[in-house]
Amino acid sequence: MTAMRDLVVTENITLDGVIDASEGWFSPAEDGDVDQSDVIAALREQSEAADAVLFGRVTFEEMRGYWPRQTDDTTGVTDYLNRVTKYVVSSTLGDPRWEGTVVLPGDGFEDELRDLKARPGRDIVTTGSITLVHSLIAAGLVDEYRLFQYPVVLGRGTRLFAEGTRIPSLRLVETRPFRSGLVLLRYRPA
């Protein structure tokens, strides 16, 4: 019997749980003076453990508008995203215009994801896509949370666990600090 694939939520997050980066706290391109090689290695580990990514429509369109056009990406993200299967949940998106993309219907996508998780393969990773992530949490579909925590407190903004949402019981499975001050926190449902 083949083990089920894990659905992994990976997010950049502040100390107070904000994942909305519109305030400018997450700007990796501006961290040029800091050695990020350990963070890049951790991202490559995650990429090697996954053969699919899952996006909501808005995040998908942002990613599609940026990553395929990168020609000098030394992180490997461009190659990875162009290579893996991309799933996008949308009721309005027609032609995804990014090779290797499958559109999942907005209604009933939870059942489609359960089917995908039951198929042979590696992890399915989702990042950004907060509306989708909130739906995944509510449906109990998340197998792991990989949180790249930044040493920043905002006090406002969209949070990973929205107010009023039933928050799952979690157990910490890894803590990994990086030279830049970031910390990777990995949690699985208890």
- CATH no. for residue 70? 3.40.430.10
Judge whether 171 lies within some domain. yes
Question: What is the pLDDT at residue 1?
Answer: 47
Please compute the mean of the pLDDT values over residues 156-171 and round it to a whole number: 86
Report CA 95 to chain centroid distance, whole Å: 23
For residue 80, pLDDT beyond 80: yes
Domain-embedded: residue 143? yes
Per the structure block, which two tokens stand in for 106? 């907005």
Task: Evaluate whether residue 29 is within a structural domain.
Answer: no
Give the pLDDT band (50/70/90) at residue 31: low
User: Which is more confident, 132 or 25?
Assistant: 132
Over range 175-180, report the average pLDDT.
94
At residue 24 the predicted structure's pLDDT band, cuts being 50, 70 and 90, is confident
| Nearest alpha-carbon partner for 175 in 136, 145, 140 | 145
State percent of the chain over pLDDT 90.
64
74 domain-assigned: yes
Beta strand pairing call for 123-126 and 7-14:
parallel
Q: Work out how many domains the chain is built from and give that number.
A: 1
What pLDDT does 2 receive? 53
Q: What pLDDT score does 10 carry? A: 95
Position 26 in a domain:
no
Query: With 80 as the cut, is the pLDDT of residue 75 above it?
Result: no
Q: What is the pLDDT of residue 165?
A: 76
In a domain, 2, yes or no: no
Give the number of other CB atoms < 10 A from CB of residue 183.
Answer: 15
Q: Is residue 1 part of a domain?
A: no
Residue-range definition of the domain harbouring residue 174: 7-21+34-189
Tell me the pLDDT tens digit for each residue of 42-65. 988 999 999 999 999 999 999 999
Q: Is the pLDDT higher at 1 or at 21?
A: 21
Identity of residue 25: W
Give the whole-number percent of the chain exceeding pLDDT 70: 95
pTM: 0.90
Tell me, what's the pLDDT at 33? 74
Q: Give the CB-side neighbour count of residue 113, counting CA atoms within 13 A.
A: 31
